[in-house]
Amino acid sequence: MFVIFSALSFFSAHREVSAVAVCGPDYDPDPVGGVCLPSSAATGISDKSVSAVLTGTLNWLLGIVATLGVLSFVIAGIQYMTSAGNQNMTDTAKRNITWSIVGIAVSLLGLIAVNTIAGILGAG
């Protein structure tokens, strides 16, 4: 009896047991746990890191701000040209031109800052 038990324990101790998960077409096997996880194609979630998503979102928002700044600059220029010598409208147009330039400068500085920080952190 002891001999049979020793033989069984010897053969079972040296045999490797591995479980391989059989996953469907929209699932990827997890190499550590051996479970099936949904792939990014099945969930619709991006494979990008959080910092890359935030950088892309901030760049998009700063692009919109810059576009609005240029649009306000054009509108202020039209206001200036159509003021027809009215001092009050000329002053309003000059103030709008000044603040649209400030808006464009802030958006460009924000774009530079976001891309610099992303480059330092390795997100971009």
Check residue 100 and give its pLDDT: 95
CA 42 to CA 57: how far, in whole Å?
23
Check residue 91 and give its pLDDT: 95
Q: Which tokens belong to 7?
A: 């033989």
E strand or H helix that includes residue 27: strand 27-29
pTM of the model: 0.59
CA 38 to CA 42: how far, in whole Å?
6
Band (95; pLDDT cuts 50, 70, 90): very high
| Range with lowest mean pLDDT among 29-33, 67-71, 91-95, 118-122 | 29-33
Domain residue limits, the chain: 2-43, 50-121
CB 19 within 8 A of CB 31: no
Mean pLDDT of all residues belonging to the chain: 79
CB 93 within 8 A of CB 80: yes
Average pLDDT, stretch 86-115? Answer: 93
Check residue 98 and give its pLDDT: 96
